[in-house]
Amino acid sequence: MKPFQAPLDDIFFSLNHVAGALDVADWDSAFSAEIATHFAGFAEGEIAPLDETGDRQGCRLVDGRVLMPDGFPELYTTFAEQGWQGLTAPEQYGGQGMGAMILAVTSEIFSGANHSLQMVTGLVPGAIRTISRFGSEDQKNRFIPPLAAGETLATMCLTEAGAGSDLSAIRCRANQQDGAWHITGEKIFISGGDQNISDRILHLVLARTSDDGVRGLSLFLCPSEKKNGARNSISVTRIEEKMGLHASPTCQLAFAAAEAELIGVEGQGLQAMFTMMNHARADVALQGVAHAARAYDLAGAYAAERVQGRLPDGGPATLDQHADVRRMLDEIDRLAMGGRFIAHLAFVTMEQGDNPNLVEFLTPLAKVYCTEAGIKAAELGMQVLGGYGYLQEYRLEQTYRDARITSIYEGANGIHTRMLATRLLDGPAAAAFAEFVAAEGAGDVFGLWQAAWQHLKDCQDSARHAHDFMALTCDTLLQCLWTRAEQAAQDHPDPDRVLRLAHAASVSGQALAPGYQAMIQSR
């Protein structure tokens, strides 16, 4: 089995020459590459080797506490001591104050090396951003420094049994007594809800303070320890047995009048929580990219060495010299690179800060395309390896198992697809996307997208066409980004590979066009 290797060349080609990071004023590409190289060495040498151990051993619930797999506590201690957890935290709170783009680099590498551990640690930047935006000065001073130092890890407590994506059905309540808030209720599917790698846990809990639907929801900071140092009344009632991410404890939590603090304004919890959720969704997009890239690395290495059949001249052929295998490998590679282009464009646009409407439109695109790309790439990689892909030996089956959740959590992809075709359709976000694509000159595909856009705006049931519209929108954006990649191919260490993939992506888009045209005409 090929050891994990961070795809640094592809990452910086995408950021600098496709997504436009070089146009961001404070982006120092050379310095960022130096940081990424250091993190890649740490990920390859220490984080990735525990991924298989974690998958096989999983997490255990012992006497009400979650124990992580062997080696994980020691690894996390090293990770925190090296300062990685505070990479983007504000400097005044002990962080390094770096931007979202360098976090995009390290997050993808981390997910490719060990998705489970990345899941447990990955909510901290979003928690810091939420506290920075909505917290009081006192809350910022108390909660951000331990998050930046790695002493505290964060969770996001939204989901409840029976509520799912319907946040108006949340029943967990927060009551105020003698000026203090206490939370009572249950939350499910809480990643890292308990663990033994950090000193403390900070739960960001969405709870009901009135019965006024979603307007009755508020956001609370609920630490694992009370102010007097005793353990807060939060218990783990179970950890889920999952298809993948075995080393990431997914917990059901019970809050029994647990001490908490309101963050932000009472009744405006969704606004605060979405700050954390939007970070998480961008992070999940990169998880999909990481799995696609890992699938390409594993399948490509195997296919380059495995001898099967003969060439036309009678010589021995490796798998990657067979046309159908080459087709699958190129598709895996294209899924990984194309997904990275979309995700990086979202991060760069976010960092530039001058087009929030485009960021709003790109976020669901990145979440949907990248996560589905990771799943499809892992499936294709297994097919390249044949029977060996179905075995645990080469670990592509783990890649598939771990990637599969990404299209489900942080809002199932169907929710994002529906949002694109409804709420975002007739507003400034869609207009910002149209302006961006028009400036890129996407040609016939953009004409189809405009026709579909107008068709859905005039349609009484646009949600019925949401899946097709999402696919067309992603394809339209990818035509723009692959054109950029083709024009910048000489800046990649392997320009022939980029040109081959760009050409295949263009052909793919042209092949889709008649189907979309028929959809518009027939509906």
The amino acid at residue 40 is A
Angle between helices 428-440 and 444-457 (to 10 degrees): 160
Q: Is 241 a catalytic residue?
A: no
The amino acid at residue 61 is L
Q: b/e string for 239-249 if b means 16 or more Cβ within 10 A?
A: beebebbbbbb
Instruction: Spell out the alpha helix ranges (H) of 386-427.
Output: 387-390, 396-403, 413-421
Whether 66 contacts 59, CB under 8 Å: yes
Alpha-carbon distance 161 to 154, whole Å? Answer: 21
Burial classification of residue 454, based on how many CB atoms lie within 10 Å of its CB (0-12 exposed, 13-18 middle, 19 or more buried): exposed
- Catalytic-role residue among 151, 225, 410, 435: 410
> Which structure tokens are listed for 29?
């590409």
Cα→Cα distances 50→54, 62, 121, 486, Å: 6, 21, 15, 37
CB atoms near residue 458 (< 10 Å)? 9
Instruction: Spell out the alpha helix ranges (H) of 85-182.
Output: 100-121, 124-134, 137-149
Whether 410 contacts 363, CB under 8 Å: no
Residues catalogued as catalytic: 410
